[in-house]
Structure 1
Amino acid sequence: MASTVTSDTSRPGYGQLLRTRGAWTFLLPGFAARQPFAMLTISLVLLVQHTTGSYGAAGAVAAVTGVSMALFAPYSGRLADRHGQRAVLIPGILVHGVAGLSLTTLALMDAPLWALFAAAVPTGASVPQIGPMVRARWGVRLQGSPLMTTAAAFESVTDELTFVLGPLVATALCTTVHPAAGLVTEASLTLVGGLLFAAQKSTQPVVATAPHARVEHAPALSVPGVRVLIATFLGIGAVFGGMQVSLAAFSESIGEPGMNGVLYGVFAAGNMLSGIVCGAIAWKVAPQRRLIVGYTALALVASALWTADSVLVLATLGLLVGMCIAPTLITGYTLVDSLVPAGARTEAFTWLTGAVALGQAAAVTVAGQLEDRLWDGAGFLVPMAGTALALATLVALRGRLAPRRVTRMVTRHAARREPVAIGEM
């Protein structure tokens, strides 16, 4: 589909983007359905730490949830590309609601850790992939439009707004209402917001039924550039996970557990603000170069987190880290559009989302163990190590991020047509 933006799009702008026909029909329910994603990990950490008294156990349960989501998200995205988003969303939403409430009940009953792990698997595996699905809808509405970078920035800002609101709401509910209130709210929002989003059938990508659909549905993971981006996003997940556990531990160590949501909100606010600016700029620099520069800055700032010894210093560093994350996320998601065919776009986005979740899960586990076994703030070593390793991978394999060359249909004979690839990925 050609772009449905009616005004001049030679310069990117949020006003032009939001005037895209049909955009608001999926943006509003999509925003509601995204909130649970930002609430799940911190709600789990706070609940399980409350019932077990261990950040290590809390981090392990949250990690199982994150790993399950990371493993199942790409499969969910592939099914959505093949059968439609609605067909995947509705059963997944129902499973997630039941699994999340079961996990909450088990935690409150002081169930053994293995039982919490068992309930965490379906809870994570069924997390609805609303963000990738919204990005795929933008891809359909804006195909070939210069507003694609603006859309990627807008989605990053939306994600970060949820990471401002989600942890604040979850922390407030868990610390002032009930330790389980965060997870109960997360399950409820998933059910209501997800079903409203699934009801917007007119804007979901059309499922390809043409004979060449097999080419369009080639696995996104087969694209070398996607694999490089996955490694890059694993490092970003390490920042999210390491900070979630370490900020909670730091806030408790100073006797102000409610400060956790505030500090994490400052971090996410920096991400959101830089995302707004990034999307408003008409970039002249190639996205591959922007990604390397942005990631280098992220690794440098993340390396200083473990040295913070006060709320003010930690808030300042958190703000800077957040400001470095948004440009890398935006550029990574923008590159997907040039690396994979439209028929594998949702799957590619879910691989990146899953990579963030997997990196977050690993970081939560390691940071929890470091906080339990070493000094307060040792968990901040995780973002430093994760971003350093990811940056090394990105620099070494940056050549694989070159845009794919176009494929087209060429007539071999008058009686039939066969797909012939012109160039290669």
Structure 2
Amino acid sequence: MTQTTSSPSLIRLAGLPYFVIAFIARLPFAMMVVGVLTLAVSARGSISLGGLTSAAVGLGTACIGPLLGAAADRFGQRPVLLIIAVANAAALVLFTLAVYSTAPDAVMLIAAFAIGATAPQVAPMSRSRLVTMITENMPRSRQPKVIGGTMAYESAADETVFVFGPFLVGVLASLIAPWAPLVIGAALTVLFVGAFALHPSGAHISAARKADGAAVAPVRELFRARLLVVVVGMFGVGLFFGTMLTALTSFMEDRGHPEQAGLLYGVMGVGSAVLALGVAFLPPSFSLRNRWLVFSGILFAGTLLLFVVHDVPTMSLALGLMGIGIGPTLVTQYSFGAAHTPAGRSATVMTMLGSSIIVGQSLGAAVTGRLAESVGTSVALYLPILAAAIVVVAGVVNHVLNSPRRLAR
């Protein structure tokens, strides 16, 4: 993303403070599933209830998340983000109060659903903003490379946040109290999601879109097979995140150190973030559809090592190999999402992809937690393998749908 005489760099277009604000603003999104699970289990003493509350968060995101993206495309990101920032902070506080009260479990589940329904979709909306800046301000010849680099950065940021988020939940819950992650998350939401909403880039996109006057693609364009297969692939990635972190927590709990699960999880996250950034330097001859197959295959190979993992060193080796695959796969999926976005539906598509991750994470955490409690860690460790297989199968289907012969039709 170097500057040329023909067009400004993306950093100059957006401004360096934008990237700082957008990074911190997505932290609460990464903290909420694990934060809800941690608080519910700690205060109510039920892993099953904790799993249900996590699933309720994912259900809320699945039902409402894409609608928030559609609203952002229709009314602009700024008003939508300001409203949901306040609503999400209120939902986080309400859930915390409900957990510590004598309220029935149903109230907790409703509050958890509200947390997911009002989750600020900062990451997908940031991608939407940046892609819009690129397409409106850079020559067409530069756009593919800059968009690829941007997706690499954004995915690396997501990887870092999705690793650091659970780790931060564990630190805050241990040092302060189980309620601390959600209360601090509510404060971060108001401050940084609010700042993200008020950043000039939000107003720029809304104004540019209105001034452009281009017709918005009909809703049916969102259900094209080439886009839906990316949604399924992203769901598989989210499922992998949820199953792997929960199974890893159970693995470390068996060894008497459950608090170290986040640190061990970081072995995968660091490598994943580095490799995600490295995607920007891959040669164009290594096509996107081939990248999905290759890197998801590496992810799947890493999960197969879970069949023989019996100690921390071998688990670290498996996580390191998974990290090589997961980051580049995520970058590639977002690139496909950007490429297949219908006109005027950028925020909607990016929110669909972001929601797919959180739905998969919530479902994976809930099912894996229940399985680990009832059957044991060894069985729970099979679930990340299944999740990785979903990512690979989606990659195969995507490879067929995006073959040169089909695209030429």
Structure 1 length-normalised TM? 0.87
Q: For 1:136, which of 128, 132, 138 is the aligned residue?
A: 128
Encode CA deviations 1:340-363: one digit per residue, 9 max, x unaligned: 234111111111111111211221
Supply the distance in 2 between the matched residues of 1:178 and 1:8 (Cα, whole angstroms): 54
Q: Give 1:367 deviation, angstroms.
A: 0.3
Q: Give 1:306 deviation, angstroms.
A: 5.0
User: Which piece of structure 1 moves more, 349-358 or 84-93?
Assistant: 349-358
* 1:234-313 correspondence runs (5 A): 234-313=235-314
Supply the distance in 2 between the matched residues of 1:294 and 1:102 (Cα, whole angstroms): 41
User: Which piece of structure 1 moves more, 281-290 or 28-37?
Assistant: 281-290
User: Which piece of structure 1 moves more, 369-378 or 103-112?
Assistant: 103-112
Q: Give 1:100 deviation, angstroms.
A: 0.6
Q: 1:173: which partner in 2?
A: 172
Encode CA deviations 1:266-302: one digit per residue, 9 max, x unaligned: 2221211111222233432111111122112212222
User: Which piece of structure 1 moves more, 270-279 or 98-107?
Assistant: 270-279
Q: 3-state DSSP class of the match of 2:382?
A: helix
> Kindly tell me: are residues 402 and 34 of structure 1, through their superposed partners in 2, closer, same or farther at Cα, counting changes over 3 Å?
farther
Q: 2:87: which partner in 1?
A: 95
> Kindly tell me: are residues 293 and 384 of structure 1, through their superposed partners in 2, closer, same or farther at Cα, counting changes over 3 Å?
same
Q: Give 1:174 deviation, angstroms.
A: 0.8
Supply the distance in 1 between the matched residues of 2:134 and 2:16 (Cα, whole angstroms): 14
Encode CA deviations 1:167-193: one digit per residue, 9 max, x unaligned: 221111112210111111111111111
Supply the distance in 2 between the matched residues of 1:220 and 1:61 (Cα, whole angstroms): 33
Supply the distance in 2 between the matched residues of 1:110 and 1:312 (Cα, whole angstroms): 44
Q: 1:196: which partner in 2?
A: 195
Supply the distance in 2 between the matched residues of 1:41 and 1:322 (Cα, whole angstroms): 21
Q: 3-state DSSP class of the match of 1:367?
A: helix
Q: For 1:74, which of 62, 66, 71 is the aligned residue?
A: 66
Structure 1 residues not aligned, in runs of 5+: 11-15, 407-422
Q: Letter of the aligned partner of 2:362 in structure 1?
A: A
Q: 2:346: which partner in 1?
A: 345
User: Which piece of structure 1 moves more, 119-128 or 283-292?
Assistant: 283-292
Q: 1:32: which partner in 2?
A: 24
Supply the distance in 2 between the matched residues of 1:393 and 1:160 (Cα, whole angstroms): 20
Q: 1:53: which partner in 2?
A: 45
Q: 2:3: which partner in 1?
A: 6
CA contact (8 A) 2:58 2:362 kept: yes
CA contact (8 A) 1:235 1:383 kept: no
Q: For 2:36, which of 30, 44, 59 is the aligned residue?
A: 44
| 2:156 counterpart of 1:157 | yes
CA contact (8 A) 2:216 2:345 kept: no
Supply the distance in 2 between the matched residues of 1:231 and 1:313 (Cα, whole angstroms): 30
> Kindly tell me: are residues 300 and 241 of structure 1, through their superposed partners in 2, closer, same or farther at Cα, counting changes over 3 Å?
same
CA contact (8 A) 1:51 1:110 kept: no
Supply the distance in 1 between the matched residues of 2:221 and 2:100 (Cα, whole angstroms): 40
| 2:64 counterpart of 1:65 | no
CA contact (8 A) 1:136 1:205 kept: no
Supply the distance in 1 between the matched residues of 2:244 and 2:103 (Cα, whole angstroms): 27
CA contact (8 A) 1:303 1:383 kept: no
> Kindly tell me: are residues 214 and 103 of structure 1, through their superposed partners in 2, closer, same or farther at Cα, counting changes over 3 Å?
same
Q: 1:320: which partner in 2?
A: 321
Supply the distance in 2 between the matched residues of 1:336 and 1:363 (Cα, whole angstroms): 23
Encode CA deviations 1:248-278: one digit per residue, 9 max, x unaligned: 2222222223202202222221211111222
Supply the distance in 2 between the matched residues of 1:390 and 1:202 (Cα, whole angstroms): 33
Structure 2 length-normalised TM? 0.90
| 2:205 counterpart of 1:205 | yes
> Kindly tell me: are residues 380 and 6 of structure 1, through their superposed partners in 2, closer, same or farther at Cα, counting changes over 3 Å?
same
More helix by share: 2
Structure 2 residues not aligned, in runs of 5+: none
Q: Letter of the aligned partner of 2:3 in structure 1?
A: T
Q: Give 1:216 deviation, angstroms.
A: 3.3
Q: Letter of the aligned partner of 1:275 in structure 2?
A: A
Q: 3-state DSSP class of the match of 1:255?
A: coil
Q: 2:223: which partner in 1?
A: 222
Q: Letter of the aligned partner of 1:167 in structure 2?
A: P
Supply the distance in 2 between the matched residues of 1:361 and 1:134 (Cα, whole angstroms): 22
| 2:113 counterpart of 1:121 | yes
Q: Among the aligned pairs, what percent are the same residue? A: 27
Q: Give 1:8 deviation, angstroms.
A: 7.2
Q: 3-state DSSP class of the match of 1:66?
A: helix
> Kindly tell me: are residues 36 and 377 of structure 1, through their superposed partners in 2, closer, same or farther at Cα, counting changes over 3 Å?
farther
Q: Which runs of 4+ in 1 moved over 6 A?
A: none
Q: 3-state DSSP class of the match of 1:82?
A: helix
RMSD: 2.6
> Kindly tell me: are residues 362 and 19 of structure 1, through their superposed partners in 2, closer, same or farther at Cα, counting changes over 3 Å?
closer
User: Which piece of structure 1 moves more, 45-54 or 346-355?
Assistant: 45-54
> Kindly tell me: are residues 296 and 63 of structure 1, through their superposed partners in 2, closer, same or farther at Cα, counting changes over 3 Å?
same
Supply the distance in 2 between the matched residues of 1:182 and 1:307 (Cα, whole angstroms): 34
Supply the distance in 2 between the matched residues of 1:239 and 1:401 (Cα, whole angstroms): 24
CA contact (8 A) 1:287 1:331 kept: yes
Q: Give 1:310 deviation, angstroms.
A: 1.6
Encode CA deviations 1:106-140: one digit per residue, 9 max, x unaligned: 11235432221111111111010100111111112
CA contact (8 A) 2:59 2:359 kept: yes
Q: How many residues were matched structurally?
A: 400
